[in-house]
Structure 1
Amino acid sequence: MKSEANVEITSVLKAKTLANTFAAQEGRRPRLLLSKIGQNNHEQDTKIIAVAYADIGFDVDLGPSFQSATDISKQAIENDVHALHLSSLTHETIHTVSEIIASLSHYGCEYILLIVDGDQLTDLDYKTLTDIGVHIIMKSSDNISDTAIQMLTLLIT
């Protein structure tokens, strides 16, 4: 029986391997914009998430807190990211996610993967987010390496 630590190490190694595979195929590291849209956690949490992605092999851009949906979309496009991770999502910010998706689509950039995290969401919120085009929905019990594996698998295939 594998210990929890061994499972996590295996997950991190798999994520790093996928990041290296992506980089070899694309000629650059996977790039991610991490933007905080909710108000329910500290800035430090966002920085911890950013470091975890960077340790796996992502180039990570941090968006300023409390940007508009248009500003977040524009930053993602201007930074030529492969994925956009929205942190601190709540039921009240789902509308912002919808606006971000509409803005990305308006600029022809619906190929940018959208990852959201938030523990204050209901099952209906999860369905709504999936229906509007969110690719990955994280819970606090999910670790970044597993999310990175999901993201990189989508990007590589």
Structure 2
Amino acid sequence: GFKWIKGEFLKGDVSLGGEESGGIGFPEHLPERDGILASLLLLESIGATASGPAEQFKEVEKLVGFTHAYDRLDLPLERPLDLSRLLEPRPLAGLVPVGVDTLDGVKWLYSDGWVLFRASGTEPVVRIYVEARSPDLVRALLRESRAFVEGV
């Protein structure tokens, strides 16, 4: 959530912060989400370039290439998931794990993507986030990681 981003804002090392629920903030304004400022900056970008957000995104992809596909699943649980049982990453969708990161949940790292498991702090849900080089690979990783969690 944004409480973690706010801390980074206050350190002074960040120029922009965002969270998956759509909150975005700019530390030079205030250390909090600000939808009005974000909207004004978007309008300024549209006016300055005479192109909309979709066209601007395509321009970025031309410069850096297609970078990733992403999806997420909120998986309701009967009982809390012990994330320590996920510390040993497993092969999924034909990918061999190359590492694990526990900064924000448990993230299994692969050469062509990652899977992040996070327990909700407010409801009996584990959130599974997946990013990979293609939408098909994202779907396969999400399907197999869900099956794994349901079997734990």
Fold shared by both chains (TM-score > 0.5): no
Structure number with the higher strand fraction is: 2
Q: TM-score if structure 2 supplies the norm length?
A: 0.26
- How does the TM-score come out when normalised to structure 1? 0.25
User: Greater CA radius of gyration, 1 or 2?
Assistant: 2
